[in-house]
Structure 1
């Protein structure tokens, strides 16, 4: 059906052999279920030939009673088979869910929603249907063909050839059917991923005037999905032909050849029994097999392959080359940006424009700039979550978006993720093997989270994510990234919920990480002063250098550092208030041509010593956020 089908068959055999008891019980109950298939036609033939036609009605009724008992026993066996099918299907589904979730968390699978909510359920239903129809057909056909042979061998000679011919035609359609099923699923994935991006960025689409392009692109994807579904539907015609050959033609031949069969010793009861085998057993089982295997079998092969294949680290980049071995990038810089350009839309101004940067291994870089300058966008480009509009990003010599680059970087975002499980499970999630407790303790000490470990009850204690504060979640995410094998760590305001002391300790720990390189999207001026190099972003006006160099040659950097230091120097005079949050740093840069600063800050005309830069224009501060604690009046 597909080039990888032999591998899927081998994995399926291993899966079934690992559940021998469930399979054995299912086969045993299938024998009970199929017993009435043999009994039905044979009992009818004996009831006519040895009973009613011979003038012995009691004998005829007795044989009909045998058929009725067989039907009841078969119904009981059918009910028992569902438990065996569930014992095979549910572990299969659970394994697929674990695979999809693991890949989504590790490699940023953009089609994970479609895979988890749609394709996993398709695979589950397809597997259940495949087990039911194939098992039923095998045992039903065995019972019916055995009964035909025992009644009269000429009956088998009439029924078997068209049955084999129809089954052969049906099997020949499975490969093209699987190809079109795969094309349909690929179109569904692409459409789901595109619509997810469109729905999450409707405001950006409108702001950039990109409605015609988005309409054309999503329309093309919709048309492709429609074309794939129609191509898949056309193969149902071939299935109908195969079903007619295997199911309807034997019945026609049996009726048309009745005189010939009667001349060769076939009795009237044998002819009626053969008709019962065809209409009551073989034809229903064959219809279920054709529709079930034709749909479920091809879907199962395609979906399981797509769910378990080892694709690129970030889906959607069709032009990404295969990952090179790590040794090929051993001497490459930790991070390199070459004329990097990115804009949110064709008509939007670039957030990052022609940016060049080379960061050697072991370096410590802080990225600063006013709000909207592209700091988090740069982090997304380095992490492979965004695709450059121009230029290139390489991580350790590998292009961003490849598996080789994904293995060399780890991104810690502002909103840290902690899952239910033990503390050790959370900390060692990015490691292939469990982390020794000695190493866990060393990391906890380096990042200053010993108190968190003590309150949690140790590394083996289960965590309740809802009971953790935002700062505690950030500490866990930082420790998880510290323990990862990736040499490049990107902190995108990953310490914003920590106090300055804890933030400094975490950044120094990452800077001393053996063989590690650190990029910090800074939200405090102290982060820039601690870094070996600082990148100042402001659209096309970017500058990079050491702290003292930038103070001398970058007016924007002087403004950012000066405003931040002014606010920080005033912080000790504030009254202690645990609920108070430090103002955001740095404030917005004065960019108006008339020298009107859009953000109030200390030092402006009319400042009474109580107005500080806290949030972007248009947002109102709560009264308790003012440094002097007084309510808002005319300030």
Structure 2
């Protein structure tokens, strides 16, 4: 909690914060004036036989309420100036932490939930806390000052139970935080399980593992549901604290009424005290109890989790292997999505030499993307091994770069996007990679390397070109293209694949005949056996490959490249 609080305080900017607080002054007027106006209207006005004076005091209360409403509107108008910079900074922390953990070989489960769902929770909770704490402070200070001005004995009866309820509320936050943490962890787990299951949907369907996948997601969902039900105890604690600090002062003041009257405290003063309790202290404590017990804990636990997950030792810069490529080897490689599912890959032996180009072909759901994930260390083999230059693929950090079908482009300059894996690249290196993959026309059309990108305005093919240039500039000597050119025309695909083949070892998940026919060797997966060899050899040995070539040629005739 302390870490989250310090991060939130450091995120505040002086100028917007000053304007935010400045407009709190008029909002404090109703809280400070309400009880005093009631007391004077009763004692000096209506009970004294001067109704005009009483009406003037009530008019003053009405004017104070109008000023408070105007101040509150200005406060909300300036809230975004504080919360949006907080969210932007948090997104940078989450993305940077996830990438550093991944490159350091650490667990990065739940990164998607942290970047989307939890970052938004933290931002919304942060905004709510700013309004809540400011409102509680304004209302409480105004009410206490008003009570002191009406009658000090009234304040002596009201303040102790109010402070007791407030103390109980603050002391209960530790218990509530543990419950909230369990809920957030369950949310991360459910997001990670659902994302990995959806990503492997084709392979799961092809191997008959849909039942296992549903059971796996269901277990994560049940765990999150149990954590959410446990939060019900937090509500019970909030109700108890509110009863002590909210109803306690009211009951104390009513019970002390005869004692106060006997000591000269007027009826109006007692009514004013009741007004401060009913319109000030009690609603303020109720709002604080609700806000801290819900939004406050959600903010502290979620933000704390985000910051903890972002911690990772700095990764060593990747080094290019001498020789212009990496050697890939698998021995008895077997993988299945679950203990009772049929293996997607079974006993695969493969040797890929430095600088060699391999095309992996086969029908949808047969395990091509699974093989790419295993080579890149994203999946753990059920049996067997996969190594890059003799090192386990999961430990071969910086030795491979994966370009998936759905390319990601983030908001920032074009140069920042392309140089993401090689931040120290020179302008000449950046230009060389842009030209190599055929992205020069796109770069010029967008306004050059310094142009700021809006990812939503880019087409799928444009995003793929940017991702290809980014991967080409990466120092990683092994590139894996998992249908990374599917949104490009065949000529652009040929140019991009040629650029990667020249820079090092290349594995292409083929979706067109050209990728397979240009490769040094072809690996055909059909669910039963793997056929590996040179193009002509595989054509002779694999009926499936011959069928795929015929299908690709037929499809190209129906849908010729533009």
TM-score by length of 1: 0.73
2:536 to 558, 561, 573: 561
2:77 to 61, 79, 83: 83
In 1, are the aligned partners of 2:319 and 2:475 still within 8 Å (CA)? no
Distance 1:191 1:55, change over 3 A: same
Secondary structure of the structure 2 residue equivalent to 1:411? strand
In 2, are the aligned partners of 1:366 and 1:521 still within 8 Å (CA)? no
Establish whether residue 424 from structure 1 lines up as the match of residue 424 from structure 2: no
Q: Distance in 2 between matches of 1:625 and 1:141?
A: 72
Secondary structure of the structure 1 residue equivalent to 2:81? helix
Tell me which residue corresponds to 1:371.
Answer: 362
Q: Distance in 2 between matches of 1:163 and 1:469?
A: 60
Q: CA RMSD in A?
A: 4.1
In 2, are the aligned partners of 1:177 and 1:294 still within 8 Å (CA)? yes
Shift of residue 309, structure 1, vs aligned partner: 3.9
Tell me which residue corresponds to 1:217.
Answer: 216
Aligned ranges 1:155-174 → 2 under 5 Å:
155-174=154-173
Q: Which moved more, 1:334-343 or 1:178-187?
A: 334-343
Tell me which residue corresponds to 1:10.
Answer: 6
- Could you list the runs of 5+ residues in structure 2 that have no partner in the other structure? none
Secondary structure of the structure 1 residue equivalent to 2:78? helix
Highest RCO, 1 vs 2 (Cα 8 Å, sep ≥ 6): 2
Normalized per residue, the structure richer in helix is 2
- Could you list the runs of 5+ residues in structure 1 that have no partner in the other structure? 314-321, 512-516, 544-555, 564-585, 592-597, 601-611, 627-635
Q: Which moved more, 1:499-508 or 1:121-130?
A: 499-508
Q: Which deviations, in whole Å up to 9, do the C-alpha atoms of 1:65-108 show, x marking residues without a partner? A: 22222122112212221112232223333444555567778969
In 1, are the aligned partners of 2:242 and 2:289 still within 8 Å (CA)? yes
Establish whether residue 232 from structure 1 lines up as the match of residue 231 from structure 2: yes
Establish whether residue 20 from structure 1 lines up as the match of residue 40 from structure 2: no
Q: Which moved more, 1:21-30 or 1:365-374?
A: 365-374
Aligned ranges 1:105-184 → 2 under 5 Å:
111=110, 114-115=113-114, 118-184=117-183
In 1, are the aligned partners of 2:109 and 2:192 still within 8 Å (CA)? yes
Establish whether residue 490 from structure 1 lines up as the match of residue 480 from structure 2: yes
Shift of residue 226, structure 1, vs aligned partner: 1.9
Q: Distance in 2 between matches of 1:118 and 1:387?
A: 27
Q: Which moved more, 1:152-161 or 1:198-207?
A: 198-207
Establish whether residue 436 from structure 1 lines up as the match of residue 410 from structure 2: no
Shift of residue 405, structure 1, vs aligned partner: 4.8
2:543 to 571, 590, 604: 590
Tell me which residue corresponds to 2:336.
Answer: 343
Secondary structure of the structure 2 residue equivalent to 1:353? strand
In 2, are the aligned partners of 1:489 and 1:519 still within 8 Å (CA)? yes
In 2, are the aligned partners of 1:210 and 1:346 still within 8 Å (CA)? no
Tell me which residue corresponds to 2:383.
Answer: 390
Q: Distance in 2 between matches of 1:65 and 1:153?
A: 25
Q: Distance in 2 between matches of 1:29 and 1:193?
A: 43
Distance 1:535 1:83, change over 3 A: same
Establish whether residue 480 from structure 1 lines up as the match of residue 470 from structure 2: yes
Shift of residue 337, structure 1, vs aligned partner: 4.5
Distance 1:246 1:330, change over 3 A: farther
Q: Distance in 2 between matches of 1:101 and 1:349?
A: 35
Aligned ranges 1:597-608 → 2 under 5 Å:
599=546
Aligned ranges 1:209-608 → 2 under 5 Å:
209-310=208-309, 337=330, 339-344=332-337, 346-355=339-348, 363-368=354-359, 370-372=361-363, 374-393=367-386, 405=396, 407-414=398-405, 416-417=407-408, 423-432=414-423, 435-446=425-436, 458-461=448-451, 475-492=465-482, 494=484, 497-499=489-491, 502=495, 505-511=498-504, 518-520=506-508, 523-528=515-520, 557=533, 560-562=535-537, 589-590=542-543, 599=546
In 2, are the aligned partners of 1:208 and 1:347 still within 8 Å (CA)? no
Shift of residue 479, structure 1, vs aligned partner: 2.4
Shift of residue 438, structure 1, vs aligned partner: 2.3
Tell me which residue corresponds to 1:574.
Answer: none
Q: Which deviations, in whole Å up to 9, do the C-alpha atoms of 1:109-137 show, x marking residues without a partner? A: 77455445533332233222211221111
Distance 1:129 1:353, change over 3 A: same
Q: Distance in 2 between matches of 1:506 and 1:488?
A: 13
Higher gyration radius (CA): 1
Distance 1:22 1:587, change over 3 A: farther
Distance 1:460 1:338, change over 3 A: same
